[in-house]
Amino acid sequence: MALKVSKSDIQKMFEHGEESYPYECCGVLIGTPGESAVVVEVQRLTNVNKEMPTRRYDVDPLELAKADSEAEAKGLQIIGIYHSHPDHPARPSKYDLNHAWRYLSYIVMSIENGKAKEITSWRLNEKKQFEQEELIIVEKTTEVV
């Protein structure tokens, strides 16, 4: 499993994570699915979690539905979700695991003291456990689709 992302999209996710600190940020990965999926664009979503937004995120279902139809109109689809872990490692939590959907890629970024530190990507396997996938960072992803 691998996920290809452009440098500028990594930058956009890092900026979102840093701006949202000390709260978690979240957003969607839009692109083409597969064993080797390609992110064509990233889009911010609002973290609507009210109980513990420094440790959890919930995507706004209306924003998600809107992002989904916009992606479809471009011949793309939602292939994953990204979110940040303020002052926590870039690996999915138990909560993340319990709320994950199969086939999607989950990008997790650690934001330490307001600065983006690490970025990783994960997918569920058949046993419903997260497996880290290769994150391939390239200059541009649009041509390789």
List interacting residues with Zn ion (CB under 5 A). 93, 96
* Cβ at position 114, least distance to Zn ion in Å: 18
Can you list the positions of beta strands (E) in the chain?
Answer: 2-6, 26-32, 36-45, 77-86, 105-112, 115-124, 130-138
Cβ closest to Zn ion, residue 41 vs residue 96: 96
* Cβ at position 108, least distance to Zn ion in Å: 6
Cβ closest to Zn ion, residue 9 vs residue 96: 96
Question: What is the C-alpha to C-alpha distance for residues 7 and 12, in angstroms, rounded to an integer?
Answer: 9
The Cβ of residue 112 has, within 10 Å, a number of other Cβ atoms equal to 14
Cβ closest to Zn ion, residue 96 vs residue 133: 96
97: its two tokens: 């695991």
* Cβ at position 140, least distance to Zn ion in Å: 28
Cβ closest to Zn ion, residue 77 vs residue 93: 93
* DSSP symbols for 44-60: EE-B---S-TTT---B-
* Cβ at position 87, least distance to Zn ion in Å: 12
